[in-house]
Structure 1
């Protein structure tokens, strides 16, 4: 990859992730195989958990081509690509004076365009960081307002126990 014009404009998260992958960044646990700085790995680790990880250059180009008819600013398009809003309520903070500039139908059209052309963000596991060893501890910390949760009312065999 060769830089043609330095500081030509902002990059999407997809472009940054693509650049880091081209440099050799990956989920290699030792992280000694590639010529990637530690700070770049931190960026890589963040971006692989965003919508950018599943986007392709074709999807991004298709979105850019189809969104031209909506008269969006470059920064607004960039933010839509990076955030990938899936509801109209998520569009309003991204687009300046959204209510004044676009009717509700056009906002919904933009959301549908995002859903159709850009891949969905990766699903986050509900029990992230919970292993069988600390599952009981996690269940104990999930108490709400002094009530015992259903997962705490099971014995070692997984049978439901009556705690009343």
Structure 2
């Protein structure tokens, strides 16, 4: 069953916004955005399909939320983790307020707990699609023309 969005019902994940826009008919095709979808909604859609939200599912988000219960994260922290899909300690650290202190009794275990949370994110939440510039890095450079030698 589809959840109906209500005004001021709370913060939405990027996945929920993307699904809402898809339901309204948003596409990456500029000509496809000439109906019920506004140009600004198309821009949001274009941005969201380049983020991890485009590969997420309701099931992956629910699985993350269930498995993350033991970390006792605030709602905003959960939302930011789902939206940003932090892939290492440096990225997740600013998301979790006092993470190392809050997640364990001593700081050394706190780092392990934060690392465990990063592992959960990597395991459960799908990665974003590759960006065009990332794909270009994997390709070999095209040979360049050699300069003409002078006589």
TM-score by length of 2: 0.80
Q: 1:152 to 1:39 in 2, by over 3 A?
A: closer
Partner of 2:71: 70
Question: Which protein shows a greater Rg?
Answer: 1
Q: 1:36 to 1:50 in 2, by over 3 A?
A: same
Higher helix proportion? 2
Partner of 2:24: 23
Partner of 2:107: none
Partner of 1:56: 57
Partner of 1:83: 84
Q: How many residues align?
A: 138
- Higher relative contact order, structure no. (Cα contacts within 8 Å, ≥ 6 residues apart): 2
1 CA distance for matches of 2:94 and 2:40? 29
Partner of 2:45: 44
TM alignment of 1:81-160, pairs within 5 A:
81-102=82-103, 103-126=110-133, 154-155=144-145
Preserved contact between residue 26 and residue 45 of structure 2 (Cα < 8 Å): yes
Q: Cα distance, 1:104 vs. partner?
A: 1.1
More deviation, 85-94/23-32: 23-32
Give ranges in structure 2 of 5+ residues lacking alignment: 104-109
Q: 1:25 to 1:153 in 2, by over 3 A?
A: closer
Q: Cα distance, 1:88 vs. partner?
A: 1.2
2 CA distance for matches of 1:127 and 1:8? 37
Partner of 1:146: none
Preserved contact between residue 51 and residue 83 of structure 1 (Cα < 8 Å): yes
More deviation, 33-42/102-111: 33-42
TM-score by length of 1: 0.74
